[in-house]
Structures are given as structure tokens and as C-alpha cells.
């Protein structure tokens, strides 16, 4: 009998050992299977479909920052790796995969991809500081600042499926509430005679960000060159972290048709790790989001539906395109999950929740 029990104990130990080894191999396989083959920072110069090709300067600023600080590439890579690892771990079927979107980065967009919103248990509320830097800083009123806050809170929490064109049925399940909200922490006004600040972060150096680890800093000024705004992606230097915004793009400003506050919505998307919806390249360049269709460049104005590029209808109403403020009104579930991933423990913006 003792021999029988001993034999059974040995068999159980072997089975447990084999199970542990299998689990370890699966964990290693999951780790290795994070596909980073499509990761990029350097972007192509895509011919403009409209007159305002420099509406957003975020990617050009990123390219400049990487040239000035080569170590930034590794930081951006690590942020992307952590993002994809988190998203992979939440996939319903448990199968690992990369961050590729746009039909698997194959240059086509033939099939509709439906991404489920991830329930991560986080309550994300971002405190915001406005720095008004103008010859007359009172030219941007408190009412405009509050209207701008109202716009971003609405944009980040409203799916707006009722605004989709009747034929855009594939986009109905994609439109989402990101469950990210913003609170006004303070407004600082600086009378400064500088006529235009450019995109080299000079305004941030003159008026440094306040606690950028826990607050979103927004500089409202005249940028120059027809540029509406630019943002710093997660992983960059904290001394320059935040968003620079053209003063006349706030609600009620003079930068029509970009004066309904959607420039800030777009730039906060970059601040929270979203790329332009067309991937800043041709059909095979990706925005790392599964449920956004491939495209070969930005759209402008208020395009009719469908506007077809790369074998699929463009999501021209997405906040990460370049259409008029009145004609953009949605994020996707995939974009939602990607933004929220950087707030996970150890994430690039996790300190904002502490």
C-alpha cells in the first residue's frame, strides 16, 4: 500500500511539474509574441489632400525630438511594447498578437474589425492647467476656457453614433465613450509680446509646465505658420510635456472652420498615445489601432461618405483625422483601449492617477 501511495505521489508531482512547465512556456510565448515589427517614429511626407497640410505638428515635433535625443526612440519603443502587452493580455480568446491595425497592416481594409472596450477598472480624471501666453492674455476669456473644457469632456465621453452617415454601418460598433474626463485645475495668464512661438517648445521653456507628472499642461498662444497645435507623446521629457494650442482654435475663436475646440481633442489624443488615423504614411503604414481603416493621407473639409482609400471607406469623422471641427465626432473602442493602457500600473501616464 505504501508503495502504491508513493507511486501515486510521484505521478502527481510529475503532472504538476509538467503543468507548471507548460504554463511557463505559455507565459514566455505570450511575452515573445508581442509583435513590434511595424513600430515606427520617422514618418513619410504625404502629399496633402487639402490646403492646410500642417494642421497638426505633433509627428514632426516627435521626429525633431528623436534627432535631438536618440534615447527617446527606446523610450517610445518601451511605451509601445507595454501598451501592446497590456492589450494582448486582455484579448478575449487569449491569443497573443501585435498592435497592428488597419487590417493587420496589409495595406487593405476590406474587413470590418470590431474591438471590445476593455474593462480595466480605472477611473481616469485628468487635471488640466491652461497657460494663456499672448500680448494681451485676457483676449482668451474664462468663458472660452470653460467652453473648451466642455468640448473635450463631451468628445471623450460621447459615442455620437447618431451623427454617423446612414451608410456607415460598420462604424456604429466602433464609436465609443473613452471614459476619460478632464477637470480644470487652474488658468495662468502671461502678457508676452512674442508674436509667434513656433514648434521648438520655446513657449514651454519660457513658461514651464506645472507638475506635468500629474497634470496636463496646455499652452494657448500664437504658434505661427498656420499650425493649429502640437502635443508631446508619452515617454518624452517632462520639461516639455503637454499640448501647445493656437489661441484662435478655442470655441468662438477666429480660426474657422477649426474654431469649435476639436484641435485640443485631437492633440490630447496624441498626448495619450494615439497616432494620426492614416498612420502618417501610405496604405501600409499603421496607426496601431485595429478598428480604424487604412488610409493614405489626411482628409480635409467635410467629406462625403464613403470616401474610399486603400480599398476601404475612410473614417473621416474620427478625431485623429484633419477634417473640419464640425465634421469630426468619434473615437473608436480600439483608440479608447490604447489611450487607457498608458494609465495601467507602470504605464507612461499612470502617475496622473496617484
Q: Which active-site residues does the annotation give?
A: 267
For the record, the C-alpha cell of 13 comes out as 508531482
Query: Are the beta carbons of 184 and 146 closer than 8 angstroms?
Result: yes
Could you identify the residue written with the cell 521648438?
200
Could you identify the residue written with the cell 455620437?
160
Element (H, E) at 21: helix 2-32
Query: Are the beta carbons of 227 and 263 closer than 8 angstroms?
Result: no
Query: Are the beta carbons of 112 and 170 closer than 8 angstroms?
Result: yes
Q: Rounded to 5 degrees, what angle do the CA atoms 263, 300, 200 make?
A: 45
Closest among 267, 228, 266, 231 to 247, alpha carbons compared: 228
Q: What is the DSSP letter of 162?
A: G
Closest among 321, 281, 275 to 298, alpha carbons compared: 321
Burial label, 273 (beta-carbon count in 10 A; 0-12, 13-18, 19+): buried
For the record, the C-alpha cell of 194 comes out as 512674442
β-pair partners for 180: 124
Q: What is the DSSP letter of 202?
A: H
Half-sphere exposure of 89 (CA within 13 A, CB side): 14
**CA–CA separation, 35 vs 156, rounded Å?**
29
Could you give the 3-state DSSP secondary structure of residue 44? coil
β-pair partners for 129: 186, 217
Quick one: CA dihedral 143, 149, 152, 156, positive or negative?
negative
Amino acid at each position: 500500500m505504501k508503495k502504491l501511495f508513493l507511486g501515486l505521489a510521484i505521478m502527481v508531482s510529475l503532472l504538476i511539474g509538467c503543468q507548471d512547465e507548460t504554463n511557463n512556456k505559455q507565459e514566455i510565448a505570450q511575452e515573445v509574441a508581442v509583435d513590434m515589427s511595424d513600430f515606427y517614429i520617422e514618418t513619410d511626407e504625404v502629399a496633402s489632400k487639402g490646403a492646410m497640410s500642417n494642421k497638426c505638428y505633433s509627428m514632426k515635433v516627435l521626429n525633431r525630438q528623436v534627432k535631438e535625443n536618440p534615447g527617446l526612440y527606446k523610450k517610445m519603443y518601451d511605451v509601445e511594447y507595454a501598451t501592446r502587452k497590456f492589450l494582448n493580455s486582455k484579448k478575449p480568446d487569449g491569443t497573443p498578437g501585435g498592435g497592428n491595425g488597419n487590417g493587420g497592416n496589409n495595406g487593405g481594409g476590406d474587413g470590418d474589425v470590431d474591438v471590445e472596450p476593455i474593462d480595466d477598472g480605472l477611473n481616469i480624471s485628468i487635471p488640466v492647467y491652461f497657460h494663456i501666453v499672448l500680448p494681451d492674455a485676457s483676449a482668451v476669456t474664462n468663458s472660452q476656457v470653460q467652453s473648451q473644457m466642455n468640448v473635450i469632456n463631451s468628445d471623450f465621453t460621447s459615442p455620437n453614433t447618431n451623427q454617423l452617415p446612414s451608410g456607415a454601418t460598420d462604424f456604429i460598433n466602433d464609436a465609443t465613450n473613452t471614459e476619460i474626463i478632464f477637470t480644470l485645475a487652474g488658468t495662468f495668464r502671461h502678457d508676452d509680446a512674442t508674436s509667434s512661438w513656433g514648434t521648438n517648445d520655446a513657449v514651454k521653456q519660457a513658461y514651464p509646465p506645472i507638475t506635468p507628472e500629474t497634470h496636463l499642461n496646455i499652452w494657448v498662444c500664437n504658434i505661427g505658420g498656420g499650425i493649429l497645435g502640437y502635443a508631446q507623446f508619452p515617454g518624452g521629457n517632462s520639461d516639455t510635456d503637454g499640448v501647445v494650442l493656437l489661441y484662435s482654435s478655442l470655441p468662438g475663436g477666429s480660426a474657422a472652420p477649426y474654431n469649435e475646440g476639436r484641435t485640443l481633442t485631437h492633440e490630447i489624443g496624441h498626448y495619450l498615445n494615439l497616432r494620426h488615423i492614416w498612420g502618417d504614411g501610405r496604405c501600409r503604414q499603421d496607426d496601431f489601432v485595429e478598428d480604424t481603416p487604412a488610409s493614405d493621407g489626411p482628409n480635409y473639409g467635410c467629406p462625403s461618405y464613403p470616401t474610399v482609400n486603400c480599398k476601404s471607406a475612410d473614417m473621416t469623422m474620427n478625431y485623429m483625422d484633419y477634417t473640419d471641427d464640425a465634421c469630426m465626432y468619434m473615437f473608436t473602442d480600439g483608440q479608447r483601449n490604447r489611450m487607457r493602457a498608458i494609465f495601467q500600473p507602470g504605464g507612461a501616464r499612470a502617475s496622473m492617477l496617484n
